[in-house]
Copies of this chain bind each other. A is one copy, B any other.
Amino acid sequence: METPISDSIGLKIIPLGGLGEIGLNMAVFEYGDDIVIVDCGLMFPEPDMLGIDIVIPDITYLIERLDKVRGILLTHGHEDHIGALPFVLRQLNPPIYGTALTLGFVREKLKEYELDNKVDLRVVRPRDVVDLGVFSVEFIRVAHSIVDGCGLAIGTPEGVVIHTGDFKLDQTPVDGELTDLATFSRYGEAGVLALMADSTNVEREGYTLSEKLVGDAFDEIFPRCPQRVIVAAFSSNIHRVQQVVEAAARCGRKVLLNGRSMIANVQIARELGYLRIPDDLLIDLKEMNRLPKEQICMITTGSQGEPMSALTRIAMDDHKQIKLEEGDTVILSSRFIPGNEKTISDLINHLYRRGAEVYHEKVSEVHVSGHASQEELKLLQNLVRPRYFIPVHGEYRHLVKHGQLAQRLGLPKERCILAVNGDVIAFSNGEGCIIDRIETGRVFVDGKGVGDVGNVVLKDRKHLSEDGMVVVIIGINQGSGEIIYGPDIVSRGFVFEDESQEYLDEAKKVVVDTLALVNTEVRADWSEVKLEVRRVLRRFFNKTIERRPVILPLVLEM
- A467 and B558 contact, CB distance less than 8 A: no
Q: Which of B345, B460, B471, B552 contacts A395 (CB 8 A)?
A: B345
Complex: chain B residue closest to A458, CB-CB: B493
Total contacting residues, chain A, CB less than 8 A: 68
Q: Which residues of B contact A466 (CB under 8 A)?
A: 50-51, 461
CA A499 to CA B451, docked complex, whole Å: 11
- B464 and A544 contact, CB distance less than 8 A: no
Among the 9-residue stretches A68-76, A177-185, A336-344, the one with 4 or more Cβ atoms under 8 Å from chain B is A336-344
CA A353 to CA B20, docked complex, whole Å: 10
- B457 and A494 contact, CB distance less than 8 A: yes
Among the 9-residue stretches A105-113, A126-134, A148-156, A483-491, the one with 4 or more Cβ atoms under 8 Å from chain B is A483-491
CA A488 to CA B557, docked complex, whole Å: 11
CA A447 to CA B495, docked complex, whole Å: 12
A245: shortest Cβ distance to chain B, in Å? 28
CA A352 to CA B20, docked complex, whole Å: 11
- B554 and A473 contact, CB distance less than 8 A: yes
Give per-residue flags for A352-367: 1 if the beta carbon is below 8 A from chain B beta carbons, else 0. 1100001000110000
A86: shortest Cβ distance to chain B, in Å? 14
A304: shortest Cβ distance to chain B, in Å? 14
Q: Which of B338, B358, B453, B488 contacts A342 (CB 8 A)?
A: B338
- B471 and A554 contact, CB distance less than 8 A: yes
- A51 and B468 contact, CB distance less than 8 A: yes
Q: Which residues of B contact A446 (CB under 8 A)?
A: 467, 545, 547
Task: With A446-B545, A448-B545, A457-B493 given, name 15 new contacts (CB 8 A).
Answer: A20-B349, A51-B465, A51-B466, A51-B467, A338-B341, A338-B342, A339-B341, A349-B395, A349-B397, A457-B495, A461-B468, A469-B492, A492-B550, A492-B552, A558-B558
Nearest 4 pairs between A and B by C-beta? A447-B546, A465-B465, A460-B493, A461-B493
Task: Please list 7 pairs of residues, one from A and one from B, whose beta carbons are closer than 8 Å in the complex, sorted by A's number.
Answer: A350-B396, A447-B546, A457-B495, A458-B493, A461-B464, A464-B465, A473-B556
